[in-house]
Amino acid sequence: MRKLTVIAAAALAALTLTSLSPASAHKPQGQVFTVTTQTIDETPIDFTKPPKLGDSNVITEDVYRYGKKVGTSDLQCTVVRVNLPKFAAQCFNTTVLPEGQITAQGYVTSDQVERVPFKQAVTGGTGAYKGARGELTVDEAGDGPAHLTFDLRR
């Protein structure tokens, strides 16, 4: 009988430890943060003419966190679909921060540009962001600086 009690106690202890393990141990680690960007230079698309397939826009920006410059963000958008008066572009972005680089890419329509926040897929990173996945929300509505919110998962 004593042997059965020891086995039952061991089984109960194992079951208790398993049920007490945090659910977060089974979920990917996440990190959400927002930075602000200020455009330094760009090669804009000429909006005095209708957009055409292959038109490209390159933008270089400084990145700020809490008002302090902490990195850069550079992106290239290429027009990939034209259905006048609307168009869509494929954009690639690399944000360089002291902790590493984060890359993102996505599709943006002329209805979204500088009007509403839009999302891009985070495709990877280096340093502290190695193996990162998730979403980048770009909010560039209005005349102020753009806000980049990274919602990262590993």
What's the CATH number where 60 sits? 2.40.480.10
Considering the domain boundaries, does residue 13 fall inside one? Answer: no
5 pLDDT exceeds 90?
Answer: no
C-alpha distances in Å from residue 96, one per residue of 36, 63, 103: 13, 8, 9
Q: Which residue has the tokens 């502290």?
A: 128
Structure tokens, 10: 């061991």
Q: Which residues pair with 92 in a beta bridge?
A: 76, 105
Domain count, the chain: 1
Eight-class DSSP state of 11: H
With H, G, I as helix, E, B as strand and everything else as coil, classify residue 2: helix
User: Which pLDDT tens digit goes with each residue over 13-35?
Assistant: 333 333 333 344 444 578 999 99
Specify if 19 maps to a domain. Answer: no
Report pLDDT for 11: 37
Assigned domain for 2 exists: no
Distance of CA 68 to the CA centre of its chain: 20
pLDDT digits (tens, 9 = 90+) for 26-69: 445 789 999 999 999 999 777 788 899 999 999 999 999 999 99
User: What's the pLDDT score for residue 44?
Assistant: 76
Both tokens assigned to 147:
């806000």
Whole-number pLDDT of residue 28: 53
